[in-house]
């Protein structure tokens, strides 16, 4: 398992949650897993038995670099931590103050090459190499090119997981030399992308199997709307492309055990949820009233539909409702939210930044949870909301479409677990919220929706078993994607819209 982040060691987003939880669940299922990560600073005491075992020289441009291999265990998972402080002992994972590090291609090319060299040094021969997102994509490319004739890797197959097509690892063509690959790899059917280097594309082209983090997103990324210029490449590989919905860690996210909550509750006894709502109102200085409380925990960016929310907020807050927001993002959006809080101090609370404990309390204390994403590869907050009996209001896209069953008014034997809309327009979002508010008045019907959501099973065990099926499928393949000389590599013709 090769990735740039994993909880609890390093995290910027959902990638870390997936890598950490999936690795742990695979070990529980009896598999031999080694999780390979950069050795960032400040790991502290999180890793058990952290040991520096060997220093090796890793090919890099312009000269080989010395990396230290550290091993340890985390939640039963064996770790291989690759230490090169000039690259990884920094304040951020990918950048600082909203700006990417200019040497990110060199950093993660080195990490990918070091991952393969470390396994060889330790004489560990994995059956499957599972790489995540653009930061680890060159592991797949190297496996199929620079290491193609190495007998130690002959039987290893590569699975590449795409967590978000919006982040592709695009760099100037002049940086290609940093990969250490021959220029024959810089072609339109390999790593070249409209005159630039695209690392995500390399993983897509060379992996034996591909997957995304939900079945719907696997279909969506094959269209111009969601493919970010790579939809044509993905279409050529659609027979090897799968979708597996993320799970959630019930040890961390469960209203029956959550240490962050003022009162815990279960599907059989919901009394604690009411107490959580009252406590949240007091914590955020809202009026303690029995009105619908809407929660939002999100990055405040266009992908998450913050513009849709801002367009309707004045009208929404004019109703007899309350809303709480936790997140950070675009300065303009943060400013508008703060201004609205000043105008509606008893009904609208905003907390900028991120606070893990408060995120849990919002999930438990809110009646409804808002996720009007323009696209959402999988999403985790709607899963947390279902678990906590907080009814989600979501747009029908990606993992939101796969995990939230739409409520249909008047349907007999209803199966709805939330409120779902399709068109990303403020008016449609507002109408959907109005429907939810109307149903909220029917306490018995609302309780039925809540309980249906709480009874869903999104455990990582289910998702991990689906990954095992992909590993087995990959291992059964013949050499599916061998390195090929440029003159025999089949040309891929695709429609692209250029980098965004």
Q: What is the pLDDT of residue 44?
A: 67
pTM for the model stands at: 0.90
Structural domain total, the chain: 2
Does pLDDT of 252 surpass 60?
yes
**Cα–Cα distance measured from residue 24 to residue 294, given in angstroms and rounded to the nearest whole number:** 33
Cα separation values, 396 from 23, 161, 212, 375, 422, Å: 29, 22, 17, 9, 5
Q: What average pLDDT is seen over the chain?
A: 93
The answer to whether residues 321 and 223 belong to one domain is no
Q: Does any domain span residue 318?
A: yes
Split at pLDDT 50, 70, 90, the class of 55 is very high
Does pLDDT of 500 surpass 50?
no
Tell me the pLDDT tens digit for each residue of 400-446.
999 999 999 988 778 999 999 999 999 999 999 999 999 999 999 99
Q: How much helix, strand and coil, in percent to the nearest 5, is found in the chain? A: 40, 20, 40
Q: What is the pLDDT of residue 12?
A: 86
209: tokens are 């199997």
Does pLDDT of 481 surpass 80?
no
Does pLDDT of 52 surpass 50?
yes
The answer to whether residues 175 and 309 belong to one domain is no
Q: Calculate mean pLDDT across residues 177-200.
A: 96
Tell me the pLDDT tens digit for each residue of 253-284.
999 999 999 999 999 999 999 999 999 999 99
Does pLDDT of 295 surpass 60?
yes
Tell me the pLDDT tens digit for each residue of 92-151.
999 988 799 999 999 999 999 999 999 999 999 999 999 999 999 999 999 999 999 999
The answer to whether residues 72 and 155 belong to one domain is yes
The answer to whether residues 99 and 80 belong to one domain is yes
The answer to whether residues 448 and 469 belong to one domain is no
Q: Does any domain span residue 484?
A: no
Q: Are strands 34-38 and 77-83 parallel, antiparallel or unpaired?
A: parallel
Split at pLDDT 50, 70, 90, the class of 494 is very low
Contact 382, 298 (CB under 8 A): no
**Cα–Cα distance measured from residue 42 to residue 56, given in angstroms and rounded to the nearest whole number:** 23
Strand, helix or coil at 7?
A: coil
Does pLDDT of 499 surpass 80?
no
The answer to whether residues 348 and 308 belong to one domain is yes
Q: Does any domain span residue 193?
A: yes
The answer to whether residues 224 and 321 belong to one domain is no
Does pLDDT of 487 surpass 50?
no
**Cα–Cα distance measured from residue 265 to residue 353, given in angstroms and rounded to the nearest whole number:** 28
The CATH code of the domain that includes 59 is 3.40.50.2000
Split at pLDDT 50, 70, 90, the class of 497 is very low
User: At CB < 8 A and 24+ separation, what contacts does 305-308 make?
Assistant: 305/371, 305/372, 305/373, 305/374, 305/395, 305/424, 305/429, 306/330, 306/333, 307/333, 308/372, 308/424, 308/425, 308/426, 308/429
The answer to whether residues 173 and 299 belong to one domain is no
Contact 352, 338 (CB under 8 A): yes
Q: Does any domain span residue 263?
A: no
Residue 48, beta-bridge partner list? 73
The answer to whether residues 162 and 303 belong to one domain is no
Q: What is the pLDDT of residue 41?
A: 87
Q: Calculate mean pLDDT across residues 149-155.
A: 93
Q: What is the pLDDT of residue 342?
A: 96
């Amino acid at each position: 398992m090769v990735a740039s982040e994993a909880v609890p060691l390093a995290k910027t987003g959902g990638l870390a949650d997936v890598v950490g939880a999936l690795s742990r669940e695979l070990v529980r299922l009896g598999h031999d897993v080694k999780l390979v990560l950069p050795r960032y600073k400040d790991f502290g005491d999180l890793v058990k038995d952290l040991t520096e075992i060997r220093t090796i020289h890793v090919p890099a441009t312009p000269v080989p670099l010395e990396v230290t291999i550290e091993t340890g265990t985390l939640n039963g998972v064996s770790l291989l931590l690759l230490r090169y402080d000039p690259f990884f002992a920094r304040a951020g994972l990918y950048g600082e103050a909203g700006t990417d590090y200019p040497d990110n291609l060199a950093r993660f090319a080195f990490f990918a090459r070091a991952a393969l060299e470390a396994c060889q040094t330790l004489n560990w021969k994995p059956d499957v190499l599972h790489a995540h997102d653009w930061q680890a994509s060159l592991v797949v490319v190297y496996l199929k090119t620079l290491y193609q004739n190495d007998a130690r890797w002959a039987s290893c197959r590569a699975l590449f997981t795409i967590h978000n097509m919006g982040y592709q690892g695009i760099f100037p063509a002049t940086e290609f030399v940093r990969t250490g690959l021959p220029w024959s790899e810089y072609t339109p059917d390999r790593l070249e992308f409209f005159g630039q280097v695209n690392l995500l594309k390399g993983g897509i082209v060379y992996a034996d199997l591909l997957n995304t983090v939900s079945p719907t997103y696997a279909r969506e990324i094959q269209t111009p709307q969601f493919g970010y210029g790579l939809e044509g490449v993905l279409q050529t590989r659609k027979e090897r492309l799968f979708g597996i919905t993320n799970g959630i860690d019930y040890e961390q996210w469960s209203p029956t055990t959550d240490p962050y909550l003022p009162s815990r509750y279960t599907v059989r006894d919901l009394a604690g949820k009411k107490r959580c709502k009252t406590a949240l109102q007091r914590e955020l200085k809202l009026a303690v009233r029995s009105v619908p409380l809407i929660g939002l925990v999100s990055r405040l960016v266009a992908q998450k539909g913050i513009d849709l929310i801002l367009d309707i907020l004045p009208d929404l807050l004019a109703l007899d409702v309350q809303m709480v927001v936790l997140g950070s993002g675009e300065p303009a959006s943060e400013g508008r939210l703060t201004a609205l809080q000043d105008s509606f101090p008893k009904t609208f609370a905003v907390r900028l930044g991120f606070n893990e404990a408060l995120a849990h309390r919002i999930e438990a204390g809110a009646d409804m949870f808002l996720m009007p994403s323009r696209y959402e590869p999988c999403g985790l907050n709607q899963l947390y909301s279902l678990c906590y009996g907080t009814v989600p209001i979501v747009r029908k896209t990606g993992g939101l479409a796969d995990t939230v069953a739409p409520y249909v008014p008047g349907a007999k034997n209803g199966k709805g677990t939330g409120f779902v809309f399709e068109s990303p327009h403020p008016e449609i979002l507002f109408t959907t919220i109005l429907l939810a508010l109307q149903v909220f008045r029917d306490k018995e019907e609302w309780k039925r929706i809540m309980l249906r959501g709480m009874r869903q099973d999104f455990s990582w065990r289910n998702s991990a078993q689906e990954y095992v099926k992909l590993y087995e499928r990959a291992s059964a393949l013949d050499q599916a994607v061998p390195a090929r000389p440029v003159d025999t590599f089949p040309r891929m013709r695709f429609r692209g819209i250029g980098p965004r």
